[in-house]
Structure 1
Amino acid sequence: MPIHHGALLIDSYADFQLPPDIMEEYSLGLIGKFGARPTSVKKPIFTRLRSNIFVERKPNRTEHQAPCQCVPPPDGSQGCGEDCLNRMLYYECDPKSCPCKSQCSNQRFHRREYAKELQIYLTRERGWGLRTLVDINQGDLLTEYRGEIISHKTCEERMRTMYIDQKNFYFLDYQKGEVVDACSKGSEARFINHSCDPNCHIEKWTLKGELAVGVFASRHIPANSELFYDYNFSVFGNAESQQICHCGSEKCRGFIGKKPKHRSNRLV
């Protein structure tokens, strides 16, 4: 380094810039002057679940599902790939009976092979959201949408009582007649926002008689990107409630979900 380089630095001027993460919090209103955090911004409170809670019935437990017919690759590579019959039918292989054993690649829910670096954060226009801090490959399982498994009737009752003063709801179709309620108990998947051009999608897989609702990457997702899926086909909500969409994509439909053909007082 030249002997007079220090003097040159002293005589030079450069604008001070806050680190990107702090600047983002300031722009979103999470921090004010002198680092003060406004009391109006509250972090979301919910109970994290490692598995679904069945409120009105016992979970089905099928110990003998369709056996996997795959042959373990002799070179020790992963088995149960795209040609696996279980995979094609959205069934996870049984760890106890799959011929590929530890080589099986069709046990992602069972092994909890979820994305490791997901972050809940406050967006500019969409409230709280979920983003990935690392690159995600197309087809990767990001997280599982968990909550309380309740009937449509119980869901309607909760809307009239427990959630009557709430502005945000976290309902998702589970199977015919049932809903995943993640309003107060669930996983970080409840914070994934809607987009008309999403980078994720929902898949329902069968594990020993019950469903696992997974969020999968529809394409490569760069680090620090917000995660989205299309509520149009997967959210359980009120047909009368048409929320304005803030996804900002060129394919934006203007509203979240399908436009109702007629007025209705029932949940669909």
Structure 2
Amino acid sequence: MYKNFLKVDKSLVHGKGLFANTSFKEGDIIVQITGEVIDSEECERREDEENNVYIFYKNDNEFIDVSNNSYLKYINHSCDYNCDVDEDDNGNLILYAASSIETGDELTIHYGYEDIYEYCACVSCENKKGEAK
């Protein structure tokens, strides 16, 4: 589905990452975020019991688990992210370019929770190892 414009490869951020096979302009929709829609209770259970970190927040009652999505689960965190997530007019979550992205660039988002800083490996970390700048 994404083979023409996205690929998974080794990441300097963490393990594997999601990379652009084409360029994107700021605001371009990259892909719709698809996966299993789960409620908040199931989200908490998967995070706690399964250490599932491949879950996107949609609203207070709906979350999208992308752990079975062969591409989206590889998008890494960066404090200097180039992608963001939003809801379109039809209520679908979309991944879009928050800034210009060139062919070969790793796609990153800001995970949006403070615990990430303890393990953050990005160059521009806002709060390296939990210590305020």
Instruction: Specify the TM-score bucket, using the shorter chain as the normaliser.
Output: 0.7 to 0.9
Structure 1 CA distance for aligned equivalents of residues 116 and 107 of structure 2: 23
Q: What is the match of residue 178 of structure 1?
A: 62
Q: Deviations over 1:82-106 (max 9, x none)?
A: xxxxxxxxxxxxxxxxxxxxxxxxx
TM-score between both structures, scaled by the size of structure 1: 0.43
Asked if residue 216 in structure 1 is aligned to residue 102 in structure 2, the reply is no
Name the residue aligned to 1:136.
Answer: 24
Task: For 2:126 and 2:117, locate their aligned partners in 1 and report how far apart those are by CA, in whole Å.
Answer: 14
Point out which structure has higher relative CO (alpha carbons under 8 A, 6+ apart): 2
Contact 1:143 1:216 in 2 (8 A): yes
TM superposition shift of 1:198: 0.9
1:175 is paired with a residue whose SS is coil
SS at 1:227 equivalent? strand
Cα shift at 1:242: 5.5
Within a 5 Å distance, the mapping from 1:232-247 to structure 2 comes to 232=112, 243-247=118-122
Identity percentage over the alignment? Answer: 26
* Per-residue deviation, 1:225: 0.6
Residue 77 of structure 2, aligned match among 194, 208, 212? 194
Contact 2:83/2:95 (<8 A) preserved? yes
1:119 alignment counterpart: 7
The structure 2 residue matched to 1:252, chosen from 91, 109, 126, is 126
TM-score scaled to structure 2, two decimals? 0.81
CA distance in 2, matches of 1:203, 1:187: 21
Report the Cα distance in structure 1 between the residues aligned to 2:3 and 2:101, rounded to whole angstroms.
12
Q: Secondary structure at the match of 2:128?
A: coil
Gaps of 5+ in 1: 1-49, 51-113, 234-238, 260-268
Q: How far apart, in 2, do the equivalents of 1:160 and 1:219 lie?
A: 33
Number of residues paired by the alignment?
A: 131
* Alpha carbons of structure 1 residues 116 and 171: separation in structure 2 relative to 1, 3 Å: same
d(CA) in 1 for partners of 2:110 and 2:47?
Answer: 22
| Separation of aligned partners in 2, 1:222 and 1:241 | 26
Which residue number in structure 2 is paired with residue 7 of structure 1? none
Aligned-pair distance for 1:241? Answer: 7.0
- Rg (Cα) greater in structure: 1
Whether contact under 8 Å (1:149, 1:174) holds in the other structure is no
Question: Stretches of 4+ moved more than 6 A in 1?
Answer: none
Q: In structure 2, how many angstroms separate the alpha carbons of the residues matched to 1:148 and 1:194?
A: 21
RMSD: 2.8
Structure 2 unaligned regions, length at least 5: none
- Partner letter of residue 119 of structure 2? I
Instruction: Decide whether the 8 Å contact of 2:25 with 2:99 is kept in 1.
Output: yes
Is the alpha carbon distance of 1:160 and 1:203 closer, same or farther for their aligned partners in structure 2, counting shifts above 3 Å?
A: closer
